[in-house]
Amino acid sequence: MEEQLEYKKRLFQKMIGFTSAVHQTSATLTKGVKSDEITPVQYSILEHIMLHQPVTISEISECQHMSMPNTSRELRKLSEKGLCEKVETSADRRKQYIRLSPEGKRVMDVSFQLVEERFLQLIQSMEARELEELAQAIDLLQAKVFR
């Protein structure tokens, strides 16, 4: 059992280094792709909506570790820029569901397109088997640690 703990601590060290590397690589892949009309925080919100829409404001607030007032403000700015919009919902009238507007979708598609090109460069020389291993590794990590 003691050995087990030691093993887990080494795994933790590995995990720290890994998450740091993920941050760096994704920052590199994403560098400069965001439209000039939005701030970094706003980009990150749009990305979240892109991946999880439709989503409530509370959920954005919680997932982005941002207070409700600040989340609300940034969403208002994004709405004013015509990049996202509130969806009518019948259930609980306190909850506001948010989704990208067609323009917001377009803006994010352009960004993602650029990131995709860079990513494809990164994996260009990999064979089918390597790619498959990559996909499996991601699935495993996402299932067990990064949900």
Piece of 2-10, 90-98, 125-133, 139-147 that binds DNA (CB under 7 A): 90-98
Q: How many CB atoms lie within 10 A of CB 8?
A: 10
Binding-site member from 26, 39, 113, 142 for DNA (CB under 7 A): 39
Does 94 contact DNA by CB under 7 A?
Answer: yes
Strand-pair partners of 86: 98
Question: Taking a C-beta distance cutoff of 8 angstroms, is the pair 19, 27 a contact?
Answer: no
DSSP 65-112: T--HHHHHHHHHHHHHTTSEEEEP-SS-TT--EEEE-HHHHHHHHHHH
Does 1 contact a second copy by CB under 8 A?
Answer: no
Max Cα distance, the chain (Å): 57
Residue 51 Cβ, how far from DNA at the closest point, in Å? Answer: 18
- Say how far apart CA 1 and CA 8 lie, in whole Å: 11
Does 92 contact DNA by CB under 7 A?
Answer: yes
Does 21 contact a second copy by CB under 8 A?
Answer: yes
Does 20 contact a second copy by CB under 8 A?
Answer: yes
51 or 87: CB nearest a second copy: 51
Binding-site member from 34, 42, 84, 107 for DNA (CB under 7 A): 42
- Say how far apart CA 47 and CA 38 lie, in whole Å: 12
Does 9 contact DNA by CB under 7 A?
Answer: no
Binding-site member from 35, 53, 56, 101 for DNA (CB under 7 A): 56
| Contacts with DNA, residue ranges (CB under 7 A) | 39-42, 56-58, 61, 66-76, 86, 92-96
